[in-house]
Amino acid sequence: MARVVRSPRAKQDIVEVLLFTKERWGNAQARAYRDLIHDALEAIAADPESGTQRFTVRPDIWGYHIKRPGQNARHILFYRVGSSGTVEIVRMLHDSMDFERHLP
């Protein structure tokens, strides 16, 4: 299992999404979305190549679409796989955003 670390910006993205979810749809939905994010992070740790390479965005970036049972959620975790096997989550972006503009 790979070691997963989150960049400061990725941590901020996650907090902002969960706060927005709580304000818009309530505590229960925020907890459910937090669990989906956690499941996605575990899936990436178990198999970093389970995401999709995003060569059109950045040559070293992978993306993992957060999933609900039966469908994708609206956010993608973007990450890099290091040579030591460490995975760095660099951003979590809404799937409607301009990825090239928002990725390092």
Q: What is the pLDDT along the chain (104 residues), one digit of tens a residue?
A: 999 999 999 999 999 999 999 999 999 999 999 999 999 999 999 999 999 998 787 889 999 999 877 777 899 999 999 988 899 999 999 999 998 889 98
The ranges assigned to domains in the chain are: 4-96
| 45 close to 4: Cβ distance less than 8 angstroms | yes
What is the residue-averaged pLDDT of the chain? Answer: 93
d(CA 48, CA 42): 10
**Exposure letters 54-84 (e unless 16+ CB within 10 A, then b):** beebbeebbbbebeeeeeebebbbbbbbeee
pLDDT at 37: 97
- Domain 4-96 matching CATH 1.20.210.10: the answer reads no
pTM of the model: 0.92
